[in-house]
Amino acid sequence: MTDQSLSRTAPNERRFLWPLMAALLIVSWSSGFIGIRYASQEASVMLVLFWRTLLSGLILLPFALSIGPRLRPRAIAEQMLFGVMSVFLYLGGFALAIEQRVPTGLVALISDLLPLAIAALSQPVLGERLTGRQWLGTAIAVAGVLIVSIDSLSFGAAPIWAYGLTVGSMLVFAFASVLHKRRRTGHLPVHQSLCIHTLTASVLFGICAMMQGDIAPPLTRGFAIGMIWLVLIATFAAYSVYYTSLRLFPVAQVSAAIYLSPPVTMLWAWALFSEPLTTAMFAGLAVTLVGVWLTSRR
């Protein structure tokens, strides 16, 4: 989807488009857990991320070269920077923190506070000032995330820098999001930018994976299912919907939908892996829904 077609979308059409975009974003963003659950049983996290990004980039490459504007060196360099920030540092930082034994529940909680960081950055960087109602909705959504995560929240014995790494990874992605929104011109179509992002990250993840051992993929059913899920849903769907939404809607409104990822992830886990649902999950889901509604309502 090009900038020209996006710019022709009327405000009323965007208003009715947002519920659909938000639903797609929530479902695809939360689905990353499923692919990781399948694939990480067969390989290290860095190896999983290497093959996820490499396959995504290679699948997109023919379309990126044949459809859309000509890729110029400056545009490629800019998108490579975004790829380092929004894919390698974001996903890789959380993966490294988990390997350093930062509790998974704490890592998930920090990553799910991404919309709060984006909301805080949107005013000084973009001039998108949040209203009092939107800040109230943000606070309520954060409370909902805390309720959902409380059962899995614990503090481990990881080194101090590993805890800081989780916060830093989240802040890097938040900064990349507002920078992406700030660029009023020069946007590449999503399939071209995502191709550059993933191929750039794959090189860096490949180096990390080689430092840990072999980069050959495990030839198992679980790894294959995980890759299909991660590439098609957690990468193509999630990132495409996210970047397209950033061009159409205020960045704080788009990021607020991510607050619903924790409870939806638990619904995925219940449906596919028979993990139990708790009262806290339903309570947190209800609270988060109220917060997202307040933040997104015009």
Please report the pLDDT score of residue 33 as a whole number. 72
Q: Is the pLDDT of residue 28 over 70?
A: yes
Please report the pLDDT score of residue 56 as a whole number. 95
Q: What percent of the chain has pLDDT over 90?
A: 15
pLDDT digits (tens, 9 = 90+) for 150-176: 665 556 667 888 888 888 888 888 888
Please report the pLDDT score of residue 274 as a whole number. 75
Most confident of 95-104, 120-129, 137-146, 215-224: 215-224
For residue 199, which of 62, 298, 34 has the smallest C-alpha distance? 62
In the block, residue with structure tokens 């080689």: 210
Most confident of 83-87, 133-137, 150-154, 242-246: 83-87
pTM (global) more than 0.85: no
Dist. CA 79–CA 15, nearest whole Å? 29
Please report the pLDDT score of residue 236 as a whole number. 92
Asked if 132 and 294 count as a contact pair (C-beta separation under 8 A), the reply is no
Dist. CA 266–CA 115, nearest whole Å? 19
| C-alpha of 69 from chain center | 26
Dist. CA 270–CA 159, nearest whole Å? 32
253 φ, ψ to 5°? -65, -45
Dist. CA 37–CA 24, nearest whole Å? 21
Please report the pLDDT score of residue 125 as a whole number. 64
Asked if 49 and 205 count as a contact pair (C-beta separation under 8 A), the reply is yes
Number of neighbouring beta carbons within 10 Å of residue 106: 20
Q: Is the pLDDT of residue 207 over 90?
A: yes
Our CA angle for 179, 144, 166, nearest 5°, is 45
Q: Is the pLDDT of residue 51 over 90?
A: yes
| More confidently predicted of 278 and 79 | 79
DSSP secondary structure string for all residues of 171-218: HHHHHHHHHHHH--S-PPPHHHHHHHHHHHHHHHHHHHHHHHS--PPP
Q: Which amino acid is at 126?
A: L
Asked if 91 and 235 count as a contact pair (C-beta separation under 8 A), the reply is no
Q: What percent of the chain has pLDDT over 70?
A: 85
Q: Is the pLDDT of residue 119 over 70?
A: yes
Band of the pLDDT at 63, cuts 50, 70, 90?
very high
Instruction: Give me the mean pLDDT over the 185-194 stretch.
Output: 79
| More confidently predicted of 108 and 65 | 65
| More confidently predicted of 75 and 260 | 75
Mean pLDDT across the chain: 80
pLDDT digits (tens, 9 = 90+) for 248-258: 887 777 877 87
| More confidently predicted of 141 and 152 | 141
Band of the pLDDT at 43, cuts 50, 70, 90?
confident
Radius of gyration, alpha carbons of the chain: 19
Taking CA atoms, 74 is separated from 44, 158, 177, in Å, by: 34, 40, 19
Instruction: Give me the mean pLDDT over the 142-155 stretch.
Output: 70
Please report the pLDDT score of residue 2 as a whole number. 46
